[in-house]
């Protein structure tokens, strides 16, 4: 029995990756939930918006690296992030002006807007591939680890190592800052309050003199910031490839819906719920159990519930269960 090693192994392979992944999902799901709450449609282009924003960050990072601007131990991409957010904001406002506004003026049904967003998704998809190509792009630099597995073993003398990547640390810190800023904005500022009012009851908001175009614009700006941040963090932590963001769409939507569409708090809870379920259910528990259980009753098999191939299926199943038994999601969002 060796509880300490069990705990370290569990943290290394489950807790830390899941927390980082959950933060990335939560940021993505916040964008989806804001658009659903205020513009009232499911934005399928969100994954590719993340890819677009991250693409600008990659390009700016490359430029900064080439002229020698850097952040020392931190990735240069953090410095490029504000520029990427500005670029993504411009892109989203442009698509809103060219595409969504037309349908908004027509008072188009949400389902039409969903299809429109799929069109935007495919265009963005193509645009990103056209500019940066479909392949893997490397743009992370700086210190790779806050603590590496080898150092941890040497430091503590334990058999198991614990690795915390710099990008994982940054992901969590940046996500916390983003969420704090967003909640402050929504609850404390005049614009934030008008956005919430517009989301709760559109007609009442209009009667009380809120300018709808202004609300829509602010929504897109915030969504651009969230999507770009999520995209850059994911790209830094894992790898940047346009197709990967398209695949992320499913867990992101699952997070937003599980938490309750339109509820920012729900999006965050949903993100972590999905991330932890995906990792916990597909993890092979053998190593942890061998350490944790007394000798003689430890498992000989892998003690794995589902093969890792079924990772995405886990988010699907959670989505189904929530939709069947609690259609408004955990935090009482809107029904779809």
Partner 1 sequence: MKKFLMATAATALMSGAAFAGGHAKEVKLGILIGFTGPIESLAPAMAAGAELAMKEATDSGLLLDSATVVPIRADTNCIDNGLATSNAERLISEGINGLIGGDCSGVTGAILQNVAIPNGMVMISPSATSPGLTTVEDNDLFFRTAPSDAREGEVMADVLKDRGITSIALTYTNNDYGKGLADAITTAFEAAGGEVTISAAHEDGKGDYSAEVGALASAGGDLLVVAGYLDQGGLGIIQSSLDSGAYDTFGLPGGMIGDSLPANVGADLNGSFGQIAGSGGEGIERLTALAGDAFDATSPYSPESYDAAALFMFAMQAANSTDPADYGPKIMDVANAPGEKIYPGELAKGLQILKDGGEIDYVGGSAVELIGPGESAGSYREIEVKDGKNETVGFR
Identify which of residues 121 and 233 has a Cβ nearer to partner 1 in the complex. Answer: 233
| CA dist., res. 300 & res. 251, Å (int) | 32
Of 246, 240, 51, whose CA–CA distance to 137 is shortest?
A: 240
Integer CA distances (angstroms), 103 to 39, 94, 182, in order: 11, 14, 28
CB of 96 or CB of 160, closer to partner 1:
160
> Is the separation of the CB atoms in 2 and 153 below 8 Å?
no
Nearest to 49 by CA among 24, 32, 26: 32
- Rank residues 100 and 152 by Cβ distance to partner 1 and give the closer one: 152
Q: How far is the CB of 173 from partner 1 (least distance, A)?
A: 19
- Taking the complex as a whole, the smallest distance from the CB of residue 279 to partner 1 amounts, in Å, to 6
Residues that bind partner 1 (CB under 8 A): 9, 12-14, 17, 21, 144-145, 148-150, 152-153, 161-163, 165, 234, 238-239, 241, 243-244, 247-248, 278-279, 282-288, 302-304, 307-309, 311
Q: Which is nearer to partner 1, 248 or 257 (CB)?
A: 248
Shortest Cβ 312–partner 1 spacing (Å): 10
Identify the CA nearest to 289 among candidates 279, 275, 301, 272: 301
Residue 109 beta carbon to partner 1: minimum distance, rounded to whole angstroms: 34
CB of residue 62 to partner 1, shortest distance in Å: 17
Taking each continuous run of H as one helix and of E as one strand, the counts in the chain are 15, 2
Cβ 303 vs Cβ 289: under 8 Å: yes
Q: Closer CB to partner 1, residue 110 or residue 133?
A: 133
Task: Please report how many Cα atoms fall inside a 13 Å half-sphere around the Cα of residue 22, on the Cβ side.
Answer: 23
């Amino acid at each position: 029995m060796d509880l300490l090693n069990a705990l370290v192994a569990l943290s290394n392979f489950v807790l830390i990756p899941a927390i980082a992944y959950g933060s990335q999902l939560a940021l993505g799901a916040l964008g989806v939930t804001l658009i659903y709450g205020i513009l009232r449609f499911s934005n399928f282009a969100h994954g590719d918006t993340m890819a677009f924003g991250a693409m600008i960050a990659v390009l700016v990072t490359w430029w900064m690296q080439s002229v020698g601007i850097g952040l020392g131990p931190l990735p240069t991409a953090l410095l490029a992030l504000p520029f990427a957010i500005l670029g993504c904001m411009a892109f989203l406002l442009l698509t809103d002006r060219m595409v969504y506004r037309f349908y908004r003026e027509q008072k188009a049904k949400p389902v039409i807007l969903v299809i429109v967003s799929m069109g935007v998704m495919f265009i963005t998809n193509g645009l990103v591939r056209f500019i940066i190509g479909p392949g893997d792009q490397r743009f992370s630099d700086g210190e790779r680890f806050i603590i590496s597995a080898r150092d941890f073993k040497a430091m503590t003398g334990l058999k198991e190592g614990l690795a915390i990547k710099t990008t994982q640390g940054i992901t969590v810190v940046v996500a916390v800052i983003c969420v704090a800023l967003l909640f402050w904005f929504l609850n404390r500022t005049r614009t934030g309050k008008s956005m919430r009012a517009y989301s709760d009851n559109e007609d009442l908001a209009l009667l009380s003199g809120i300018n709808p175009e202004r609300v829509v614009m602010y929504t897109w700006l915030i969504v651009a910031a969230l999507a770009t941040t999520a995209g850059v963090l994911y790209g830094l932590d894992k790898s940047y490839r346009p197709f990967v963001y398209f695949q992320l769409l499913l867990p992101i939507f699952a997070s937003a819906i599980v938490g309750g569409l339109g509820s920012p708090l729900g999006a965050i809870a949903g993100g972590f719920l999905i991330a932890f379920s995906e990792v916990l259910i597909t993890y092979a528990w053998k190593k942890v159990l061998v350490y944790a259980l007394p000798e003689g009753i430890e498992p000989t098999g892998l003690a794995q519930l589902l093969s890792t191939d079924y990772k995405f299926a886990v988010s699907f199943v959670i989505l189904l269960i929530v939709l069947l038994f609690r259609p408004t999601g955990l935090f009482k969002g809107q029904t779809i």
